[in-house]
Structure 1
Amino acid sequence: MLTIAEAAAALGCHYQGEDKQITGAQIDSRKIKPNQLFVAVKGQKTDGHDYLEAASQAGASVALVSTLQAFPMPQLVVDDVIDAFGRLAALWRQKCDCTVIGITGSNGKTTVKEMLATVLGLYAETVATEGNLNNHFGVPLTLFRLQPSTQYAVVEMGISQLGDMRQLVEWVQPTVALITNIGPAHIAGLGSEASIAKEKGLIFSCLTEQGVAIVNADMPYCDQWQAQLTQQTVVSFGVEKPADYGASKIQQEISTGQQFEVAYQEGVMTVSLSLLGEHNRANALASVAVCDVLAIPQPYVIDGLALMTSPPHRLQPLAGPHNATLLDDSYNANVASYQQALKVLTALPGRHWLVLGDFGELGERAGEIHRQLGQQAKKQGVEKLLTIGQLSAGASQAFGPNGYHYSDISALLAYLQQHLVKDVICLIKASRLMQLDKLVAQLAVSEESSC
């Protein structure tokens, strides 16, 4: 889809050697396939420039470098490798006549991406972001996976500082753009929730007049986003406020998930979803909105959403010691996802316990925010709060009676193994840096063991 000469012309640089086809791109020399572009990224621990020989031996047709290397393979020399990688990915995307769905948001973007990838993948050839590779490395890698036969691309777009979204959206050029929600995530790099809403709203800036914007009606920033969408179609979803796509006749069980009805092009349809919580209902409604806009037949939507299972460590129900239930939400954490998880926990029948570790990237207000986490848990009826980590000590103090702080993970594990009982549902929540997934692994009981 792209030649070395075309890439050099797009970047305004020269190269030496034979002009060849570029069939894709990779930043890891161990994953290179024949005729792919090797992107020599200089990281904190390794420098891709040291792996040109390995990439060449694996079949790379050309390398993207910041300094010319003394190795006999075609090289595109640029000032900024990552920016050049993104520009080439944008050129690659322009050569693909497919529908591109761009997704961003403070929470839920990976879940919505997986929902859409599943539904659309049942219907037609679809490429989607792998894992959560949603940054300046991951987005170009996703775009370079597009092929002439690709009909849909689902691209997750994550930001951590001002300016990120403008660059990503210029590369992705979405046909349909979706914001799942806005919350205080990456506050340290983005400044405030209002600033986050403005930055993420830039996902709509590259939509053509034929483009479609999908917005969350429950967010207070809808008017702000719609002001910049004077020509494009705007579609809404929501669980609290009136929206184009909302849920009715809702039922939820921890063992089976939830079921609800939603209006669709072919009439009202019933969605069965194994994922718990109001936030996952919103994620499903966002996916339904996208699919309806794309005129995906109803059976594919129903079947695709029914296939969704809880990703590991994302509100995943597990059997715990003494027939207790664990809600493993240890994958990552910010304030919005914490509030969502608390809603799920306290809506379930039983005694509600919370294991809380430190949250990262909260900036100067980190101590204050952790105290608020404890206060919120108490207000919503959590019976017992067990904290681990430096910042979370403030949460247990703010919680008051039945708030306990542990400085040693072994002591926390021992307490839970001894005191968890049948009617307790224990939510485990922290940023990934706390590695509470290891605590979950030691607490979880296999189905065979619990019988």
Structure 2
Amino acid sequence: TRGVLLCGDENKVIRDFSIDSREGSEDSIFVPIIGERVNAHRFIEGALELNGATFTSEHCPEGEDGAAKGDRLWEQIANKTGMVKPWIYVKDTVRAMQQVGTCYRNRLSLPVVAVTGSVGKTTTREMIATALSAGKRVFQTLGNQNSQIGVPLTLSHMSPEDEAAVLEIGMSERGQIETLTKMIRPDIAVVTMIGVSHIAQLKSQENICLEKMDIVKGVPEDGMVFLNGDDPFLVPYRGRLEQKTFFYGLSDDCDYRAEDIVNGDGQISFTFCADDLRLPVTLSTMGEHNVRNALVALGVAHQMGVDVSAAAKKLSKFHGQRLKFVRCGRCTVIDDTYNASPDSMKASVGVLSSMANVQGRRVAALSDMLELGEDEKRYHYEVGEYIAEKEIDELVVFGELSREILKGAEEACAERKRPCVRKTADEQPETAAGVMPGATDGSAEPVSRQRGLVLTEAKDREAMTAYLMRTLRPEDVVLLKASNGMKLFEVAKALTEQNVK
């Protein structure tokens, strides 16, 4: 880090980082981060009550530029507390943290898999780790620590006992993927798909693709790259990379592909195909996107020498953290409220549409997708068009942008001559039922797509909650999805906090 020890024992052993002054241990070093709203240097004194050392970029020896010269705060705190803990002056605390993270990585020789992409990073990472656990002790990213700060935090928790690591890397602006992949130095890189998340910052999907593909800059020449063979932005990389490249997906020309896909009740099955290998696989999750996730998980396991049959058995018990099915007395809730992009919203709608043995209605309760840039209305409109093609019985939304979802669905229904009625959440369900009998009557009779689509607009989150609680029946299935900032998790909580089965 080229840091300067201001005080304390230079032989002090530090094992991990702390970025929260209220947390830490004698084995951790506090990293005061200068954020947009808060400069954590103000919390150093409190942080040292728990942590064994601290970085600082604002207190330094006299003669250093750009810092508080001569205040010698470390001496003031030492005199006040009677404790002299190491203070290390660095130019940039986050950069220093990343450099130490690189040192942690360099000390370990285990194979590392790095996962990036616009959609599906977390689930893909979890499924790869699950598949590899059939033959190895696997370390994986903690929670959603995939950022410029989160990755070095994660690296500090790897241990010599680990036999493989699966790490997730994300970005919010250009150049961040290259920084992280060079820190991680993955043996295998995975790119899930190129969507429009962060398009407000990067301006185009082409730029997003370039940023995501920077992950290969950290992969050695004898490493491997796995790309989604169904993604039009990734397919052109066939034959262009110096690393050995594998494509996975539903296309016939993929190296790892799926055949005979069958949707069941809360599960999906398919045949895993690779060269002369054919293996039946059943997942306890739904959606074709999870088939792709399983394909790359099994492909990575195959290339790393893990028995594929054992890996598939592990995957059969995988449930994941994002798409949560909750059966309660009121209805069945698909809680996918963590976040949303156009691609992930379509994927979740696809899961709802493909569910087998639904005796009631399929209801999609959606709200705005944020940070989509100047084309945000178009992306919402396209989600509505997609819904009009699917086996969805009612669409309920709130939010300024979500009106475009309603508009897209309404106009697509008109083009396809699919019966459709638009109303507000204040109107009684019978208003729509009068136009399309059975569409909102809560009967146990299965409702087909030809019987129409009800489009309902709520004025806010509370109105959506009240409407759903009033109209949902035990046989119904409702999907909840939006960007986290829309707080649809509060709707999910209201629907599920009582009578959970």
Aligned to 2:378: 368
Q: Tell me which of 341, 349, 359 is aligned to 2:348.
A: 341
Cα distance 1:110–1:449, how it changes in 2: closer, same or farther (>3 A)?
closer
Aligned to 1:429: 481
Q: Tell me which of 5, 12, 23 is aligned to 2:2.
A: 12
Q: Is the CA contact 1:321–1:443 (under 8 Å) kept in the aligned structure 2?
A: no
Structural mapping, 1:132-281, within 5 Å? 132-226=144-238, 228-230=240-242, 232-255=243-266, 257-263=267-273, 267-281=277-291
Q: Is the CA contact 1:26–1:38 (under 8 Å) kept in the aligned structure 2?
A: yes
Structure 1 residue 296: Cα displacement: 1.1
Q: What per-residue deviation string (whole Å, max 9, x for no partner) do you get for residues 246-300 of structure 1? A: 1223332233x12222146995333221111000111111111111111112354
Structure 1 residue 423: Cα displacement: 4.6
Q: Percent identity?
A: 29
Structure 1 residue 336: Cα displacement: 0.6
Aligned to 2:323: 315
Q: Tell me the number of residue pairs that the alignment of Structure 1 and Structure 2 aligns.
A: 433
Aligned to 2:338: 331
Cα distance 1:332–1:144, how it changes in 2: closer, same or farther (>3 A)?
same
Structure 1 residue 425: Cα displacement: 2.8
Structure 1 residue 186: Cα displacement: 1.4
Aligned to 2:137: 125
Mapped partners of 2:354, 2:325: distance in 1: 14
Q: Tell me which of 69, 73, 85 is aligned to 1:70.
A: 73
Cα distance 1:417–1:94, how it changes in 2: closer, same or farther (>3 A)?
same
Structure 1 residue 213: Cα displacement: 0.6
**Residue 353, structure 1, aligned to residue 376, structure 2:** no
Q: Is the CA contact 2:262–2:269 (under 8 Å) kept in the aligned structure 1?
A: yes
Q: Tell me which of 14, 27, 31 is aligned to 1:39.
A: 31
Cα distance 1:414–1:12, how it changes in 2: closer, same or farther (>3 A)?
closer
Q: What per-residue deviation string (whole Å, max 9, x for no partner) do you get for residues 305-324 of structure 1? A: 1231142xx332222555x4
Structure 1 residue 116: Cα displacement: 2.3
**Residue 302, structure 1, aligned to residue 312, structure 2:** yes
Aligned to 1:388: 398
> What letter corresponds to residue 118 of structure 1 in structure 2?
T
Aligned to 2:43: 51
Structure 1 residue 241: Cα displacement: 4.2
Q: What per-residue deviation string (whole Å, max 9, x for no partner) do you get for residues 322-370 of structure 1? A: 5x43222211100110121122222224433211101101112222322
> What letter corresponds to residue 246 of structure 2 in structure 1?
V
5+ residue gaps, structure 1: 1-10
Q: What per-residue deviation string (whole Å, max 9, x for no partner) do you get for residues 214-262 of structure 1? A: 11111123354345512x211121023421111223332233x122221
Cα distance 1:209–1:84, how it changes in 2: closer, same or farther (>3 A)?
same
Q: Which moved more, 1:339-348 or 1:374-383?
A: 374-383
Q: Tell me which of 369, 393, 407 is aligned to 2:459.
A: 407
> What letter corresponds to residue 30 of structure 2 in structure 1?
F
Q: Is the CA contact 1:41–1:81 (under 8 Å) kept in the aligned structure 2?
A: yes
5+ residue gaps, structure 2: 60-71, 75-83, 411-420, 422-453
Cα distance 1:29–1:271, how it changes in 2: closer, same or farther (>3 A)?
farther
> What letter corresponds to residue 400 of structure 2 in structure 1?
Q
Aligned to 1:3: none
Structure 1 residue 44: Cα displacement: 4.2
> What letter corresponds to residue 155 of structure 1 in structure 2?
L
- The TM-score normalised by the length of structure 1 is 0.89
Q: Which moved more, 1:216-225 or 1:434-443?
A: 216-225
Q: Is the CA contact 1:319–1:445 (under 8 Å) kept in the aligned structure 2?
A: no
Q: Which moved more, 1:262-271 or 1:300-309?
A: 262-271
Question: Tell me, what secondary structure is at the counterpart of 1:159?
Answer: coil
Cα distance 1:67–1:32, how it changes in 2: closer, same or farther (>3 A)?
same
Of structures 1 and 2, the larger Rg is shown by 2
Cα distance 1:228–1:337, how it changes in 2: closer, same or farther (>3 A)?
same
Mapped partners of 1:186, 1:441: distance in 2: 28
Q: Is the CA contact 1:266–1:298 (under 8 Å) kept in the aligned structure 2?
A: no
Q: What per-residue deviation string (whole Å, max 9, x for no partner) do you get for residues 48-97 of structure 1? A: 3233334433242x322212261243222222211221122112211111
Q: Is the CA contact 2:268–2:286 (under 8 Å) kept in the aligned structure 1?
A: yes
- The TM-score normalised by the length of structure 2 is 0.80
Q: Which moved more, 1:109-118 or 1:11-20?
A: 11-20
Question: Tell me, what secondary structure is at the counterpart of 1:58?
Answer: coil
- Larger helix share, 1 or 2: 1
Mapped partners of 1:415, 1:243: distance in 2: 45
Structure 1 residue 445: Cα displacement: 6.8
Cα distance 1:248–1:374, how it changes in 2: closer, same or farther (>3 A)?
closer
> What letter corresponds to residue 137 of structure 1 in structure 2?
I
Q: Is the CA contact 1:254–1:317 (under 8 Å) kept in the aligned structure 2?
A: no
Mapped partners of 2:469, 2:320: distance in 1: 24
Aligned to 1:88: 100
Q: How well do the aligned residues superpose, as a CA RMSD in angstroms?
A: 2.3
> What letter corresponds to residue 358 of structure 1 in structure 2?
D
Question: Tell me, what secondary structure is at the counterpart of 2:181?
Answer: helix
Q: Which moved more, 1:197-206 or 1:409-418?
A: 409-418
Q: Is the CA contact 1:274–1:310 (under 8 Å) kept in the aligned structure 2?
A: no
Cα distance 1:222–1:368, how it changes in 2: closer, same or farther (>3 A)?
closer
Aligned to 1:109: 121
Mapped partners of 1:371, 1:250: distance in 2: 29
**Residue 284, structure 1, aligned to residue 294, structure 2:** yes
Structure 1 residue 409: Cα displacement: 2.6
Q: Which moved more, 1:99-108 or 1:267-276?
A: 267-276
Mapped partners of 2:477, 2:244: distance in 1: 43
Mapped partners of 1:365, 1:266: distance in 2: 45
Structure 1 residue 36: Cα displacement: 2.3
